[in-house]
Amino acid sequence: MAKPRSPSLGQVSDFEIRLLRIFKTIVECGSFSAAESTLGISRSAISLHMGDLEKRLGMRLCQRGRAGFALTDEGREVYRATGSLLAALEGFRAEVNELHQHLRGELNIGIINNLVTLPQMRITHALRALKGSGPGVRINIGMTTPNEIELGVLDGRLHVGVVPLISPLSGLEYSALYEERSLLYCSQEHPLFERDDASITVAEIHACDAVAPSYRIPAEAQERHQELNGSANASDREGMAFLILTGSYIGYLPDHYAADWVAQGSMRALRAERFHYDIPLTVVTRKGRRPNLVLERFLEAVAESR
């Protein structure tokens, strides 16, 4: 009657890898007793580990006794395979560590327009840190609307986005970045430009032609725009600035974006203590996303740039 074959080895667990490391050490030391000091365990414990390994592999690996220690034919093959396995594990560890030190891959990021003039520059600092961590990382930036950015992150076209917090989508995670303040501006061509704030009434401001955004904004910002006489629309903040600079309209702009025009004397804020609003800006990522070392390093850099 044929001897039944032992079952094939299934998945190799961490415990089996530990037993194989012990086996390799025994072979290289030449005996159980010689391996005691190297392994830091007793000869009886070594014997138990070897018995467990042989049982798991379904074969005898070595002869041990008064005649001394000697590998079986199967033991020599397992020793050779153990060396290959442990070398492969070490190679894997080294490659992963190399990835942490020298990132490779792409970061696709979507950002709303006109954030580059923010004085905090957290995104700029984080992108610089990412490039420093991985010179081989390719950064792809797309400037577009909050809607497009959120959809891009959801469908995987974008790894990350920077958007105002308006109506959070359930499939996305939003992390606070900073708040952006917007003030109400007119240009030097506008009748109110030369007037002192104290002499300008709220009613006068409400009566002026104003430009309103046609893009999504938070509820507080909507309330501020609805107070005005919106007689023109703009699809983005640059369009708002174009119409304000005509001198025919007043309108809200982020203070950092308007700062250069203010410094040049071509634009001024109107009644800033009354006409302003803040928008929270956030970093948005997809919930349940796959691990991505490039993205994680970028998010770490954003968190560190406070």
Cα(299)–Cα(285) distance, integer angstroms: 10
Q: Where are the alpha helices (DSSP H) in 144-274?
A: 146-155, 202-207, 219-226, 237-245, 255-264
| 176, 278 Cβ separation under 8 angstroms | no
| 260, 126 Cβ separation under 8 angstroms | no
Question: What is the model's pLDDT at position 254?
Answer: 94
Angle between helix 32-39 and helix 14-29 axes, rounded to 10 deg: 120
Question: What is the model's pLDDT at position 174?
Answer: 96
Per-residue pLDDT of the chain (306 residues; tens, 9 = 90+): 444 445 566 677 888 889 999 999 888 888 888 888 888 888 888 889 989 988 988 899 988 777 678 899 999 999 999 989 888 888 787 677 666 666 778 999 999 888 877 777 889 999 999 888 878 889 999 988 888 999 999 988 999 999 999 888 999 999 999 899 999 999 999 999 999 999 999 999 999 999 999 888 888 899 999 999 999 999 888 999 999 999 999 999 999 999 999 999 999 999 999 999 999 999 999 998 887 888 999 999 999 887
pTM tops 0.75, yes or no: no
Q: Which H helix or E strand runs over 57?
A: helix 43-57
Short-list 173, 159, 176, 141, CA closest to 294: 159
Cα(102)–Cα(134) distance, integer angstroms: 5
Domain ranges of the chain: 14-98, 178-280
Looking at the domain that runs over 14-98, which CATH code has it been given? 1.10.10.10
Q: What is the DSSP letter of 197?
A: G
Architecture of the domain made up of 178-280: 3-Layer(aba) Sandwich (3.40)
CA atoms within 13 A on the CB side of 46: 23
